[in-house]
Amino acid sequence: MSLAAYLNDHLAGATAVIDLLRHLEQHHPEHAGLVGPLRRDIEEDKRELEALAARLKVGPSAVRQAAGWVAEKFARLKMAVDDPGGTAFKLFESFEVTAVGIHGKRSLWVVLKELPTAAGPDYDRLIARADEQRARLEPARLAAARAALAG
């Protein structure tokens, strides 16, 4: 079922972004005021998606969850190779990946809003929430970009 694959892809992506944000919390305490609340918000959004998947009788995909886990670990490895001695580029890439994930989640809510079979959640609220998350992240992402790329 295509809807099951779509939902599981987004659940895997959410897991990867949550793990990445947890890593940022541990290694960049100076951004804890942004990253911690953002992670908790994304965890809440993931629970909304899990509840919808359960209501639609879409079971979790171990393969997709594993792929999300591997993708997050690979992304961190890539960042370590790209920025072995510093943190500026790694931080920027982490914020960039998070921003892309939030954009993807927003797109998910827009698509699901169009599907009668996925009715139920307040998609307008979830879309606005994704917009707010992205707006909250954007100043830090741009500051990290300036620090990493301006040299």
- Report the C-alpha gap between 18 and 22 in whole angstroms: 6
Strands (E), 1-151: none
- State residue 92's pLDDT score: 93
**Residue 86's domain spans which residues?**
2-149
Render pLDDT for 101-148 as a digit per residue (tens, 0 to 9): 999 999 999 999 999 999 989 999 999 999 999 999 999 999 999 999
Instruction: State residue 84's pLDDT score.
Output: 56
Q: How many domains does the chain fold into? A: 1
Assess whether pLDDT exceeds 60 at residue 61. Answer: no
Joined together, the tokens standing for residue 99 give 């921003």
Predicted confidence at residue 90, as pLDDT, reads 86
- pLDDT classification of 87: cutoffs 50, 70, 90: confident
The three-state secondary structure class of 29 is helix
The b-or-e profile of 25-57 (16+ CB within 10 A means b, else e) is beebeebeebbeebbebbeebbebbeebbeebe
Predicted TM-score (pTM) above 0.75: yes
